[in-house]
A and B are shown apart, each in its own frame.
Chain A
Amino acid sequence: MKDNSISDGYRTCPVPVSSYKKVLLGHGSGGKLTNDLISSVFMRIFDSPELDTRHDGAVMSLGGEKIAMTTDSYVVTPLFFPGGDIGSLAVHGTVNDLAMCGARARFMTAGFIIEEGLDMEVLEKVAASMKRSCDEAGVRIVAGDTKVVEKGKGDGLFINTSGVGTLMSDEPLLPSGIKEGDAIVISGDVGRHGIAIMSAREGLALKTSLESDSALLSGMVEDLISEGVNVHCLRDLTRGGLASALIELSSVSGTGMRIDEAYIPVSEEVKGVCEILGLDPLQVANEGRFICFVPAGEAEKTIKILSRHNAGRNACRIGHVDGRTSGVYMRNLVGTIRKIDMLTGEQLPRIC
């Protein structure tokens, strides 16, 4: 009988794309490529114990006082988006990073990289927005820097902010503080910032009323600490979304984590856009959400405190730290369990 099998010559696949020789956009996505870049270049070369904590900022002693320090850069397009702008984002991000270390922000620096041709009015609006956010956070900008690059060599405006704060808690809050049995509490629904930015971008004709979740988290953290919640660790959710934050903390702390999809708050609009574009809400960026690791018995108290704040009104418990597993596992809506993975590169919408 004639063999109808397809020729062996066609059973093959292409040449592998191994490590990239150039930096890709995906290296800034907050997912696996970002982690690779940080480990293989910066951590290896800079080699400091503070970087080894892999937290949002570093805690150090200076003249007997414990201080926290952090830095971040903002390259968002468009500069103004529903629910915020690059200026408020730059202040929120740095204040929040300090809050995640258990520190109250005190002083900030701001570096501006401006593209030739930017409207002066835009720059003033951004600066005014920064000032408002600083006042709200009780922080002062004490030093700055300005550079102008040729037209076409920037994206309008980039901002770098650094912040110094003083510790509110007796001990710094670090990933190593996470303990088996801890409850994982999230401060609100996920994915709003990423989807609001995507919707506002030219070329994506999605009409939504979604606003970014960009917000100051320091008030919530201050209340948790001052009201005696035994916080083990905090982490704000940024570029890589909830998935990247959990996986990184699981890896750094050497613990397993279990979450339940049914408890993870996602707004109907975020869900809808994610379905259309083929994105996972767990991997979409946030700018005003954080997760808390607290003893299981203190989860209710934590939720109650967070819920008093506007940015924490949807706070809820989404899972727990599990000693039996390593990695992050999620019980999904139909009852089966799957491992959560970090985004590989950039989030790219699917074809169909």
Chain B
Amino acid sequence: MKYVDEFRDRVSVETLATAIRGITTREWTIMEVCGGQTHSIMRFGIDELIPRGITLVHGPGCPVCVTPVEAIDRAIRMASMKDVVLCSFGDMLRVPGSSKDLLGVKAEGGDVRVVYSPMDALKMAVDDPGKKVVFFAVGFETTAPGNAMAVYQAKKNGVDNFYMLVSHVLVPPAMRLILSDSNNRVQGFLAAGHVCAVMGYDEYEGIAKDHWVPIVVTGFEPVDIMKGIYMCVKQLEEGRFDVENQYSRVVKREGNPEAKRIMKEVFDLSDRKWRGIGNIPLSGLVLNGRYEGYDAEKVFGLDAVTAEEDQGCMSGKVLRGIIRPDECGKFGGACTPEHPLGAPMVSSEGACAAYYNYKDREKNEG
């Protein structure tokens, strides 16, 4: 992993900080789309290294944060059923539904298991035909191909006790929504590198052109993010709005054709509710007609489970970059990782948790 150290090199970061200072003539607001980038920015204190006039705001790119409360409630309903094993990636277990979270259901006796891959859930179904194994499929374009492959393999091998509760969301429609909002203050984007590794970035070229915003496909290490900020500020200062690729060691313009193919085989586009934001047309993925026998929502009638979001916190504004987490009145007081009011305080990639864990630098006198 020397590869990672190279992108955490202090001298490279300082050189880029100097370069950013050298080209910045006025104030700019840039959104990092991905929660992983927010986490890195806060963990490494990148916001302290860039000129004060450049404001970094968090985007809607934390998969845990944007999963709607009713999807959690549906997962909780499934996990509470007899002979059901509910599998998910770790982060999802802590996110509050209407009245509890999946860890709470597990403590009450529900069979909730953390898996590291949807294929592990599929194997569980094969190994234990007496159980109904449900994989809670959340996340962006990054996790969708793997989840699609699990359903594809289930059908190919005739596994009939495996189901998927799908709550996938897509990044570009959310970026367009943010830019169309009259309260928008985002002038440039650091696009999520992992999402673009799958999908490529040709779709982003339309967004940049339609909304006159520069978009830089950016990685997750400190050097990546500093370079992404430099490229974005340079475009802003020069009055350009192109899509540029900082993360070329991973991302190609066309993305990963094989991953896109399997997604197309299994999923259709659909409208999707985003937690804290609301419905965004054609911003989600659902299993298509060929795979509806694997759709937990349809098979178990879960669409009857609905939930209203509470008036507790301002996460919607945080996720759209309208306020920073520490501008919320409840931040760090009524809302902490131990007692979260909203998902962004729960997930390791959530903006509020990142600010809470790393923001306390008031005594950084050296």
A residues sitting closer than 8 Å to B (CB atoms) are: 3-7, 9-20, 22-26, 32-33, 36, 203-205, 256, 268-269, 271-272, 275, 277-278, 324-325, 327, 329, 332-339, 341, 344-346, 348-352
Contacts and interface: CB of A to CB of B under 8 A. Distances in A.
A16 B276 CA distance: 14
A334 B361 contact: no
Q: Which 5 A-B pairs have the closest CB atoms?
A: A336-B45, A348-B90, A13-B342, A10-B278, A13-B313
Interface stretch (B19-27, B134-142, B155-163): B134-142
A7 B320 CA distance: 13
B290 interface: no
Contacts of A9: 278
A14 B309 contact: yes
B364 A329 contact: yes
28 contacts: A5-B183, A6-B316, A13-B276, A13-B312, A16-B340, A16-B341, A17-B340, A19-B339, A20-B104, A22-B108, A24-B104, A32-B337, A36-B338, A268-B2, A269-B1, A333-B44, A336-B45, A338-B45, A345-B94, A348-B93, A349-B90, A350-B89, A350-B347, A350-B348, A351-B64, A351-B89, A351-B90, A351-B138
Contacts of B97: 14
B49 interface: yes
B63 A352 contact: yes
Contact of B116 (A204, A333, A344, A346): A204
Contact of B44 (A10, A204, A329, A336): A336
A332 B43 contact: yes
A275 B180 contact: no
A278 B278 CA distance: 28
Contacts of B177: 6
B128 to A, nearest CB: 13
A204 B358 CA distance: 29
A17 B104 contact: yes
Contact of A14 (B107, B275, B357): B275
B164 interface: no
Interface in B169-213: 177, 180-183, 194
A67 to B, nearest CB: 37
B98 A15 contact: yes
A2 B1 CA distance: 52
B360 interface: yes
Contacts of A271: 1, 4
Given A15-B98, A339-B360, A349-B114, A10 B309 contact: yes
A3 B183 CA distance: 9
Contacts of A334: 8, 10, 13-14, 44-46, 49, 222
Interface in B95-127: 96-101, 103-104, 106-108, 114-117, 120
B91 A350 contact: yes
Interface residues of B, number: 85
A22 B10 contact: no
Nearest to B120: A203
Contacts of B309: 10, 12-14
Contacts of A5: 181-183
Given A348-B114, A349-B90, A335 B310 contact: no
A24 B93 CA distance: 11
B312 A15 contact: yes
Contacts of A4: 180-182
A203 B116 CA distance: 7
B286 interface: no
Contacts of B94: 345, 348
Contacts of B69: 14
Contact of B10 (A11, A13, A333): A333
Contacts, number: 201
Contacts of A6: 177, 181, 277-278, 316, 320
A4 B103 CA distance: 38
A327 B358 CA distance: 13
Contacts of B321: none
A15 B96 contact: yes
A10 B276 contact: yes
Given A333-B44, A352-B143, A11 B276 contact: yes
Interface in B305-320: 309-317, 320
B349 interface: yes
B75 to A, nearest CB: 14
Contacts of A12: 276, 309-316
Contacts of B316: 6, 10-13
B219 interface: no
A22 to B, nearest CB: 4
Nearest to B365: A324
A20 B275 CA distance: 23
B1 A14 contact: no
Nearest to B278: A10
B254 interface: no
Interface string B30-45: 0000001000001111
B82 interface: no
Contact of B361 (A20, A204, A277, A336): A336
B219 to A, nearest CB: 13
Given A12-B312, A32-B338, 4 more contacts: A13-B312, A14-B96, A14-B97, A351-B64
A256 B182 CA distance: 46
A352 B115 contact: no
Contacts of B100: 17
B249 interface: no
A20 B183 CA distance: 38
